[in-house]
Amino acid sequence: MATEQELSDFLKSVERRAFKRSVYHVRDEEAALDIVQDSMMKLAEHYGDKPANELPLLFQRILSNCTLDWFRRQKTRRALFSNLSDFEAVDDNGDFDLLEHFVMPTDSRESESAEDTTRRAQIFHAIEEQIAALPGRQREAFLMRYWEEMDVAETAAAMGCSEGSVKTHCSRAVHALSKALKAKGISL
């Protein structure tokens, strides 16, 4: 059974990545924050008594379900209330910044030039845009496998699909990202 401290430490460790993943899915920072908070509350309320080693998969599954619930609510809301604000572009000036998460190698003693810094920012922005443009299931599988570093079985369990589906979604996502970035002249 997970202790209160283990649960707290686990939630602290996944908070930022869960938020980032949710932002990629829903493309709305406030909604993503709500989804992550709801997921954390559900984990604590319903599964706080589970062993600590089961918490990561349970949380990923809860986060996926909360995200799907949000999309269902949005679909219903849009069907009931047509609003002109639904057609406005999402504001990209939020606090979320991919560059703040980039870590320079610790053995690098050279300082990076302004040109290199700008180029890196442009590349990260292009990658972020392309990940956001992926279809939902591909984006979810890609982020779980390569961002969350989950293995195929864990990803399949969290997504509620087969391991073969996870591999297919990841493969398609990688090929789509590669093609899109290559078209922009970015090779990694």
**What's the start-to-end Cα distance of the chain, in Å?**
43
Tokens linked to 130:
């392309």
Question: Which pLDDT tens digit goes with each residue over 104-161?
Answer: 554 443 566 778 778 878 888 888 888 888 898 998 898 888 888 888 998 898 889 9
How far apart, in whole angstroms, are the C-alpha atoms of residue 160 and residue 153? 10
The answer to whether the Cα torsion of 15, 131, 127, 168 is positive or negative is positive
How far apart, in whole angstroms, are the C-alpha atoms of residue 96 and residue 142? 19
Question: Which pLDDT tens digit goes with each residue over 54-63?
Answer: 999 999 999 9
What's the predicted TM-score (pTM) here? Answer: 0.53
Is residue 47 within 8 A of residue 79, CB to CB? The reply is: no
How far apart, in whole angstroms, are the C-alpha atoms of residue 143 and residue 170? 9
Percent of the chain past pLDDT 90, that is, above it, reads 32
SS3 135: coil
Q: What is the pLDDT of residue 82?
A: 46
